[in-house]
Structures are given as C-alpha cells and as structure tokens.
Chain A
Amino acid sequence: MTKSKYLPLIATTVIFVVAYALCYLQFPNILSTRVIGNLLTDNAFLGIAAIGMTFVILSGGIDLSIGSVIAFTGVFLAVILENTGIHPLFAFVLALIITTAFGALMGAIIHYLDMPAFIVTLAGMFLARGMAFVLSIDSVPIVHPFYKTLKAFYFKLPGGGRITLIGGLMLVMFVVGIIVAHRTRFGTNIYALGGGTQTARLMGVPVGRTTIMIYATSGFLAGLSGIVFSLYTSAGYSLAAVGVELDAIAAVVIGGTLLTGGAGFVAGTLIGVLIQGLIQTYITFDGTLSSWWTKIVIGLLLFVFILMQKGILLASKLERRA
C-alpha cells in the first residue's frame, strides 16, 4: 500500500527525467541553466495557481475560477496603478485581500448550501471574469517604476541562467505548500476531507471551517498568481489567462494527485507544471511543430495518468481482498 502511494509520483518523475533526457539528446542546449531559469519564470504563475488547485483537489473539490481570478487581479492592479498614486505593494495587499475573500465566499457557499464545487466555482469564474471586464475591456499597460525594480531583481546561476523573482517565488511557495500539506493540522484536515466528508466529520475535522479555508487558500494563491502574471506581462488584460484552470488541473493530475481526493503530493504538481513547460520548450526549440501539439500531448498524458490511477486503485483493492 505504501508503495502504490508513491507510484504516481515516481512515474511522473521518471517521465519528466526521461523526456528531458530525450530532449537533451536532440538539443543539448536544453540542459543549460538559461533554459531551466526560463522554464521556472515562464511557468511561475501556473505553478503558484496549481498549488491552490492541489489543495482543492486533495479535498475532493475543484476550482474553475482561478483563470478568471488571475485575469481580474491583473486588470485590478493595472487600473488601480494607473488611476491612483498608491504604492504597488499596497495594491498587491488589496488584491490578495479581495481574492482571498472571494475564495472564502465560494467555500462558504459550497459548504453551507451543500452544492457541488463545480457549479459554484463556475459561477465564480463568470463573476471574476465579468468584474475584470467591467474594470476595463482593453489591455492596460503597467508602467510603474517599482515594476521595473522588481523585474530587475534576479539570482544569477552559473552558466548565465537567472532565477527571476517570480520563478524563485514559485519555488518558495511550493516549499511552503509542501510544509502546509504534510506538516500542519490544516493539511491533515484537507487529506481527511478528501477521504470522505462523513468520515472526516466523525473524526472531528471541522468540515465547514476547513472547506472555507481551502477555497480561501486557492483564492489567495490565484491572486498571488495574478500578481506574478502582471509582473510577467507588465499589463492587465481581462481576456488573459483563459483556460489556466485546465492547465492547473492537468498539472495536478499529471503530478499524481488522485482526482477523487485524499491522496497526492504538492511536489508532484511542480513536476506536472514542469512537464507542461518542457513540452512547450521542446516545441520552441524544434521550430517546425505547431503549439497545438502541446494540448494534444497534455491530453494524452492526462489520459495515461488517469488510467494509471484506476489501475493502482484496482490493484490495492485486490490486494486488500487477498
């Protein structure tokens, strides 16, 4: 049983390493620190949002609103920095408060109205995107000097690579996410909730508070991801980050988290994000392949991992019976 618990994570890691090795054989430059640094920078917003998605899926739920929340945060920051004189740091705090409250509200609706997370967060997705549209339908550039300062901030790697602020922030958030998931009471409660609401309640897990906290965390991380995205693109656009929720779900599943909840690792999600980034990088290196192959390959990977999860569940059931 303990073996099969780690199997999806091991499989993901092996696939990542083998895929990277294959890419390396074809394009030796892909192993440079420059490419690795860019891999982290380009996928920072997806990675941070995917941590929140991991928590939500571990608890047996789903959050479809994160793409819209990222776009809303970007537009909110751009509009507020353009029209008022407040410091970007203060605007960041405001944005995080709004998105966290938004997530908490969705969690409260899911718990108190006893409705499927899918449809509640669907409403959240419409609402956040709509609010972004109301703030501005145009792409608003961010020209604040503080953004330049933040973007100029990086850690130099040997070989010319750079870990930028946002790439580093993603790694830090993953470490925090791993600690929260495996070393705190809140993390244990999430896993318990994923095993079954009824069982969790009988074990004394505060179901309502945990549910609200999970979606608030997801909202907070989506807001943080929106800040990172606005740093990455230096603009706020209400049509940005469409479909990021799907990429995040794909990253979580490829990272080996069980979709029914209750089993999985935050670290796996990082590898899931990196696999998606690697596919994109390979397509860029190749130059002749079209970017839509990314979607097809990710769809195939999703399918393979879902099948593998089914196989593991079946095997553990047979084992228990024997």
Chain B
Amino acid sequence: MTAKLPATLVRLLPQIATLAVVLILNVILFPSFFDLSVQNSRLYGSLIDVFNRGAPVALLAVGMTLVIATKGIDLSVGAVVAICGAVAAASVAGGHSVPVAVASALAVGMLCGIWNGFLVAVLGIQPIIATLVLMVAGRGIAQLITEGAILTFTDEGLIFIGSGTAFGLPMPIVIWVVFGLAVTLLVRRTALGLLIESIGVNRQASQLAGVRTTALLIASYLLAGLCAAIAGLIVAADIKGADANNAGLWLELDAILAVVVGGNSLLGGRFSILGSLLGAVIIQAVNTGILTSGFPPEYNLIIKAVIIVVILVIQSPRIGELSAFLKSVRQGNP
C-alpha cells in the first residue's frame, strides 16, 4: 500500500499541480476564496460551491472514464440527464413516492445505457454514431415525458437530493464523492478495471484471451447511463423542475473534457477515475474563477478550447516520439 500510494500520486501530479495553480489564481483574484463558514450545521464557501456545482460533470465523468477506457465514447449522457430528470419529475407529479421516482429514474438511465451498450457491443456500431442516435432522439423523448413544459415539483424529498445537507456538506458533494470512490474501489479492488483496459487496447485479443468483452462493454455503458441518471436527479432537484430543453445541455462535452484533463487517453486503455474527478473539479474551478473575477463568462469557452489544445499537444503520439528522439540524442552525445 505504501509503495502504491506514491505511484498514484506521481501519475496524478500534473492534475494536482493544475488544480493548485487554478485555486491559487482564484485566491489572488478573490482573496476570500478559501473562507469557510458553518451556518445551519452546513459548510459554506466558494470552495464548497466549486465542489457542489461540479457534481453533475463529476458524476458523468466517472461513467465516461470507463467508456473511454474501452476505446468508446458516450455522446448521449446529456440527453439521458434530461430524460431521467423528466422521469423523476413526472412520477412525483403523478403522485408516486420519492423512492419510486428515484428508482424509476435510475432504471430508465440504466436502460438507456444498455441500449447504447447493445448497439456498440452486439451490433458493432462505432460508439460515436451509436450514442448519437440517443443524443438526437433523447431530448425529444424527454420533451414527450414533460409534454413540452418545464415540469416543476415541490416534493421536499426529491429537492433534498439537490440542496439538502448531509455530514455538514451539500448533498450533491456527498453523492459524487461516495459514488466515485465506490466505483474506483469496484474496478481497482477487482480485476474489472484491468479487463476494461484490455478491451480498450485490443478488443479482439482480449476476447480471444477469454475476457467477456460483450458483457463488460454493455456494463460500461450501463454505468455511464446510471451516472447520467444520478446527475439528472441532481440537476432536476437543484432547480425544482425538469427542463427537457436545457437540462444537461452540452454536459457530455464537459464530461469528455474532464476525462481528458484527468490525463486519460481518448484512444482507450489505461484510465484513472480519480484523475477524471480531479479534471471535473479543475473545470468547475476555472468556471467559478471566471465568474467571480468579473471576466465576461463568454471567455469560458475560449479557455476550454485552449485547455483541450494544450492537452492534445501533450498527449500527441508525435510529440512523444520527438521527446524520446531528443532524449536519445542527448544520451548519444554526452
């Protein structure tokens, strides 16, 4: 364990350093950034806000990490967020209890995931295209559930998911931290994570080696759907209503960005859920920093674009070859 911990830390060093830089910039721009206060037995402060607002992207990033590790991608999660929020709101509005509403939203999310997994694993369709089907149709389906209106609800139990307090922290933080750790333990304390990585490196070879690739692929997309369902509950509970048009809009891109910022390769293979979670927090810290510093929020997208390009350059195989070549040259001429 002691030998393993530093290895994880070293692997995540760039992400931790980036987060530190972003946070320090925030403090410089906004000196009271780290101030924490306790009111009504709940922590308040900008830092808590960052973790709270980042909850949907962090949750989506967990599922997206596994899907990307299998060399796939899930474009439909944003639409699934809208569908699941609509399902929960509709069932509460229809007079069902909160547990039924939550359970049906989670079930619908997993069903969406199984559909995506079926298209990718059984029918062998490219992941971008397979999940595009649900991305295009999903918002229409969500509109169908809410009948075109923004379905509002006043059920305290459901609202608690979005703005309640547990262990002195806002509920969304508790949910994503617990869920992220649970999934990390599940894939890292068993062989599951390794098997998922093997699919990402070479599906055919792992199939021949006896890995049940079809079941694992479907399970990965199922988990992404489940993550989207939980995120959908949080988003809906936060605004006390289901907005089929705007709930989860472009969240799939933020989730993909979080995974990439977390140091995971889009080409599949090795993955780190902790890295993706850090990535999600970094993105949110940048967002919050831009908003609180008085910069126009329009610069947000440009900064995101710059981040992607920088990461692309670092990850690029060509740059890797170049640095390896420079190293060998240097060793050749002492």
Contact = CB atoms under 8 A, between A and B. Distances in A.
Contacts of A114: 316-318
A307 interface: yes
A126 B136 contact: no
Contacts of A122: 253, 256, 308
The 10 residue pairs across chains A and B that have the minimum distance between CB atoms? A299-B137, A130-B301, A133-B298, A295-B140, A130-B302, A127-B305, A292-B143, A123-B308, A296-B140, A126-B305
Contacts of B152: none
Contact of A137 (B119, B132, B298): B298
Interface stretch (B9-17, B41-49, B121-129, B173-181): B121-129
19 contacts: A113-B318, A114-B316, A114-B317, A118-B128, A119-B256, A123-B309, A130-B304, A131-B302, A134-B299, A246-B135, A292-B143, A292-B148, A295-B139, A296-B140, A296-B144, A299-B137, A302-B133, A310-B124, A310-B125
Contacts of A133: 296, 298, 301
Interface in A277-296: 290, 292-296
Most buried by A among B137, B253, B267, B300: B137
Given A126-B304, A292-B140, A295-B137, A119 B125 contact: no
A116 B302 CA distance: 20
A250 interface: yes
Given A114-B318, A130-B305, A299-B137, A120 B312 contact: yes
Interface in A117-162: 118-120, 122-127, 129-131, 133-134, 137
B123 A310 contact: yes
A201 to B, nearest CB: 15
Contacts of B125: 306, 310
A296 B142 CA distance: 10
B92 interface: no
Contact of B129 (A129, A259, A298): A259
Contacts of B308: 119, 122-123, 126
A212 to B, nearest CB: 15
Interface in B281-334: 296, 298-305, 308-309, 312-313, 315-319
A303 interface: yes
A310 B124 CA distance: 8
Interface string A96-129: 0000000000000100111110111011111101
B76 to A, nearest CB: 10
Contacts of B267: 116
Nearest to A137: B298
A62 interface: yes
B141 interface: yes
Contacts of A292: 139-140, 143-144, 148, 244
B114 to A, nearest CB: 15
Nearest to B244: A292
B312 A115 contact: yes
B204 to A, nearest CB: 16
A115 B140 contact: no
A302 B136 contact: yes
Interface residues of A, number: 43
Interface residues of B, number: 46
Prevailing SS type, chain A contact patch: helix
Contacts of A296: 137, 140-141, 144
Nearest to B138: A299
A22 interface: no
A46 interface: no
A199 interface: no
A294 B144 CA distance: 12
Contacts of A197: none
A113 B316 contact: yes
Which of A112, A114, A292 is most buried by chain B, counting CB atoms within 10 A of its CB?
A292
A253 interface: yes
Nearest to A126: B305
Interface in B18-75: 73
A112 B313 CA distance: 10
B185 to A, nearest CB: 29
A116 B138 CA distance: 25
Contact of B123 (A295, A298, A307): A307
B283 to A, nearest CB: 12
Interface string A31-44: 00000000000000
B318 A299 contact: no
A72 B231 CA distance: 31
A249 interface: yes
A300 interface: yes
A124 B139 CA distance: 24
B260 interface: yes
B309 A303 contact: no
B305 A124 contact: yes
Contacts of B280: none
A233 interface: no
Nearest to B147: A290
Contact of B302 (A109, A134, A298, A299): A134
A113 B137 contact: no
